[in-house]
Amino acid sequence: MPTGLKQTSSVVAIGFSVDETVAGTFAQASVDLNLSPLDREVFVVLAINMDPFTPECILGTDTKVESSLCTTSQIGVQNLSNSNCLAASGNFIKSSAGSSVGFQSVAAESPPATLEYIGIIATNDFFVQVQGTGNTGTKGMDGKLYGYRARADASIFAALVQSEVLSA
């Protein structure tokens, strides 16, 4: 258990999804955690599973579907170099005129079990992003976030909220 936090729930799984409204455009969805700031409640993230849709196989065109999960609102799909990005994933198809090959990039959706947690969400919601490139139809992403609610000490809560909001 992280110092300064007291677990107040069992482990819960929160499902989420986000879909493009127009093919090849960035889309973002907000997922409300219903945390109580008056009780200094935070959400301790244990694992994240993300499943971006499969890109289309179009000969001679590289296609992809990239996705991310962040603690703050973003203007594009992020990678783990962003301090507010907890997970990133993508499916890609590289294609020439005669052949295509598909592959997946997963940025450590769930790090090794030796870690106590992979992130702490101190504000009331988290955000999921998706964007396809080179596809003719709309794409999206589905996933699950695993974690538990916890109550933070006043100083820890203030530091977590300030860090999350100021780094947005």
Tokens of 40: 């200094």
Can you give the pLDDT at residue 30?
97
Look at 98 and 69; give whichever has higher pLDDT. Answer: 69
User: At 161, is the pLDDT very low, low, confident or very high (cuts 50, 70, 90)?
Assistant: confident
13-68 residue pLDDT tens: 999 999 999 999 999 999 999 999 999 999 999 999 999 999 998 888 999 999 99
Q: How many CB atoms lie within 10 A of CB 24?
A: 15
Whichever domain contains 20, its CATH number is 2.60.120
- Please tell me the pTM assigned to this model: 0.89
- Residue span of the structural domain in which 15 resides: 5-166
Domains: count for the chain:
1
pLDDT tens for each residue of 83-129: 899 999 999 988 887 776 766 666 554 555 667 888 999 999 999 99
Phi and psi at residue 135, in whole multiples of 5°? -90, 155
Q: Which residues pair with 45 in a beta bridge?
A: 119, 147
**pLDDT tens for residues 2-19?**
788 999 999 999 999 999
The residue ranking higher by pLDDT, 136 or 106, is 136
- Written as one letter, the residue type at 72 is T
Residue 101's pLDDT is 72
CA angle (99 as vertex; 97, 104 as ends), nearest 5: 120
Q: Give the confidence band of 1 by pLDDT, cuts at 50, 70, 90.
A: low
Give residue 78's pLDDT band: very low, low, confident or very high (50, 70, 90).
very high
pLDDT beyond 90 at 130? yes
The pLDDT of residue 129 is 98
- DSSP-derived letter for residue 39 is G
Residue 162 confidence class, pLDDT cut points 50, 70, 90? confident
